[in-house]
Amino acid sequence: MKRRHSANVKMTKKMMNNCIVIGGGLAGVEAAAQLSKAGLKVTLYEMKPQRFSPAHKSENLAELVCSNSLKAERLGSAAGLLKHEMELMGSVCVEAAKKCKVPAGGALAVDRDRFSSIITERINSDENITVVREEVKEIPTGTPVIIAAGPLVSEALSESIQKLCGGFLSFFDAAAPIVTAESIDRECSFTASRYERGGEDDYLNCPMNKEEYEAFYEALINAEKAELHSFEKGKNVYEGCMPIEIMASRGADTMRFGPLKPVGLRDPRTGHRPWAVLQLRKENEAGTLYNLVGFQTNLKFGEQKRVFSMIPALKNAEFIRYGVMHRNTFINSPKLLFGDFSMRDNPNIFFAGQITGVEGYMESAASGIIAGMNLARRLSGKESFIPPVETMTGALCRHVESCVSGNFQPMGANFGILPELPEKIRDKKLRYEAIADRGLEAMKNALSNIN
């Protein structure tokens, strides 16, 4: 799929030949590599070692902080499909990962130091890329720029971005889990809005009787929490998005007067109001994903699966994103960006990486590829390239550009954001393989057309 955004942008000769990328993480190096491949000169700014964020330790580019796992590698997985698509687009991160992979079952895990070293050497040896080791405090003007500063952007640059974007969407992200629609037990749930206000299917309600609720409550208040990094602890962490386990700790009935309140709802199976009700809200237009309303959480992932599956309607739930709580600075992309990662009101400025609302190492890198590719295309007068909706990369681009739920939250690769197959395949493994095959073929065709 090709689009032209903000056409008729005048470029000076200097602008046509020079670009700036801010941030030497996975998104930044991918963006710089794409610009170089198009024959453009790139200045890549990285503040390390002049200044380190609280999470970074190495001087190398593309440092992996939280994990050495880049998730599944096989094509029949959402993460695997994304990597295959990135490889077709010339990803430096996928190439480096394959050179330093370590045994990890079906996951693509890497030697973190070697991974960063390989990419650093690759970027430093590129004659079109100049790496400048200094902090950028103001967004440059008069030159095309890609901002790939990451979720731990420095305070000075953060202020500059806030002025440009009208503020960040969030500094501390306490997001609720998301489950697939097909994994919800419809025999134990019902569609309705409170007091019959709104659409009949606006919410999917998951009722609990008194015994079920009390068992759930006990499990929740005793569940193991994930530990926050030191830089994520502070007075602002819980403002406006209290984790469900913190709420539960304030009393056995606190949740029943909060997100689990049953008022205004009647269970059609019993004809009575339930003791407690978890409401699920559609996360995407297709209705293939549902968000657990009010269930922001900092529980460990395994604990979320164990405890939340105690709710009868979720006993077989497939969690495609667990609740998270960490510092995750991201902009309100649907209001600010097009799907090619350029700004709607500033066509020479692109964003890339987790600051855009994609979540995960490879998702961040993929956004860098798209941003770099599209800045290069814009400078040469070509239309923007956004991969087809059937591709994982294309689906992430559309997540950044538009959010139907009205509550924009970071999203990683998952099959729930892709369109369903025209035919029904009951076997999940075979269905995912068919979706992946379709996506990979769509990417090959799209790249063939633009090349």
Q: Same domain, yes or no, for 303 and 346?
A: no
Q: Same domain, yes or no, for 279 and 311?
A: yes
Q: Same domain, yes or no, for 300 and 369?
A: no
* Residue where a domain stops, chosen among 294, 325, 356: 325
pLDDT for 41 beyond 90: yes
Q: Same domain, yes or no, for 265 and 204?
A: yes
Domain count, the chain: 2
pLDDT for 215 beyond 90: yes
121 Cβ contact list (under 8 Å, min separation 6): none
* 49 contacts 24 by C-beta, under 8 angstroms: no
pLDDT confidence of residue 56: 67
* Domain harbouring 183, CATH code: 2.40.30
Q: Same domain, yes or no, for 245 and 132?
A: no
pLDDT for 412 beyond 60: yes
Q: Same domain, yes or no, for 67 and 26?
A: yes
In terms of average pLDDT, the best of 190-199, 239-248, 298-307, 325-334 is 298-307
300 Cβ contact list (under 8 Å, min separation 6): 223, 224, 225, 226
Q: Same domain, yes or no, for 156 and 188?
A: no
pLDDT confidence of residue 433: 97
Range of the domain at 41: 2-169+331-450
Helix (H, G, I), strand (E, B) or coil at 349: strand
Sheet of strand 145-147, all strands in order from the earlier edge strand to the far edge: 129-132, 41-45, 18-22, 145-147, 349-351
Q: Same domain, yes or no, for 352 and 305?
A: no
pLDDT for 52 beyond 60: yes
**E strand map for 36-79:** 41-45, 69-72
pLDDT for 13 beyond 60: no
Q: Same domain, yes or no, for 106 and 80?
A: yes
pLDDT for 410 beyond 50: yes
Q: Cα separation of 212 and 311, whole Å?
A: 7
* 237 contacts 172 by C-beta, under 8 angstroms: yes
Confidence class for position 87, pLDDT limits 50, 70, 90: very high
pLDDT confidence of residue 432: 95
User: Between 212 and 293, whose confidence is greater?
Assistant: 212
pLDDT confidence of residue 199: 57
State mean pLDDT over 43-57: 81
Q: Same domain, yes or no, for 290 and 390?
A: no
pLDDT confidence of residue 6: 37
Sheet of strand 107-110, all strands in order from the earlier edge strand to the far edge: 69-72, 107-110, 101-102
pLDDT for 232 beyond 70: no
* Residue where a domain stops, chosen among 298, 325, 352: 325
pLDDT confidence of residue 168: 67
Helix (H, G, I), strand (E, B) or coil at 392: helix
State mean pLDDT over 64-84: 87
pLDDT for 237 beyond 50: no
SS3 readout for 164-214: HHCCCCEEEEEECCEEEHHHCCHHHCEECCHHHCCCCCCEEEEEECHHHHH
Helix (H, G, I), strand (E, B) or coil at 225: strand
Q: Cα separation of 298 and 220, whole Å?
A: 11
pLDDT confidence of residue 231: 47
Structure tokens at 391: 């591709």
State mean pLDDT over 282-296: 82
% of the chain at pLDDT higher than 90:
65
Centre a 10 Å sphere on the Cβ of residue 147 and count the other Cβ atoms it contains.
32
Alpha helices in 89-154 (DSSP H): 92-99, 112-124
What are the pLDDT digits (tens) for 108-121? 888 888 999 999 99
**Mean pLDDT for the chain overall:** 87
Confidence class for position 167, pLDDT limits 50, 70, 90: confident
State mean pLDDT over 360-380: 96
Q: Cα separation of 164 and 173, whole Å?
A: 21
- Stated as kind and residue range, the H or E segment containing 320 is strand 319-321
pLDDT confidence of residue 200: 62
pLDDT confidence of residue 365: 98
User: Between 406 and 69, whose confidence is greater?
Assistant: 69
pLDDT confidence of residue 405: 60
pLDDT confidence of residue 54: 60
* Domain harbouring 442, CATH code: 3.50.50.60
pLDDT confidence of residue 351: 98
Pick the range with the lowest mean pLDDT from 104-108, 199-203, 343-347, 352-356.
Answer: 199-203
pLDDT for 442 beyond 50: yes
Alpha helices in 291-360 (DSSP H): 301-308, 333-336
Q: Cα separation of 231 and 129, whole Å?
A: 32
pLDDT confidence of residue 7: 34
Buried residues in 273-304 as b, exposed as e (16+ CB within 10 A): ebbbbbbbbbbbeeebbbbbbbbbbbbeeebb
Q: Same domain, yes or no, for 81 and 112?
A: yes
Whole-number Cα distances in Å, 71 to 105, 324, 362: 10, 17, 9
Q: Same domain, yes or no, for 235 and 310?
A: yes
Structure tokens at 87: 């490889």
* Residue where a domain stops, chosen among 277, 310, 325: 325
User: Between 315 and 320, whose confidence is greater?
Assistant: 315
Taking Cα atoms as reference points, which of 292, 273, 316 lies closest to residue 185? 316
423 Cβ contact list (under 8 Å, min separation 6): none
State mean pLDDT over 40-68: 83
* 212 contacts 267 by C-beta, under 8 angstroms: no
Q: pTM for the whole thing?
A: 0.71
In terms of average pLDDT, the best of 92-106, 155-169, 275-289, 292-306 is 292-306
State mean pLDDT over 332-338: 93
Q: Cα separation of 430 and 400, whole Å?
A: 29
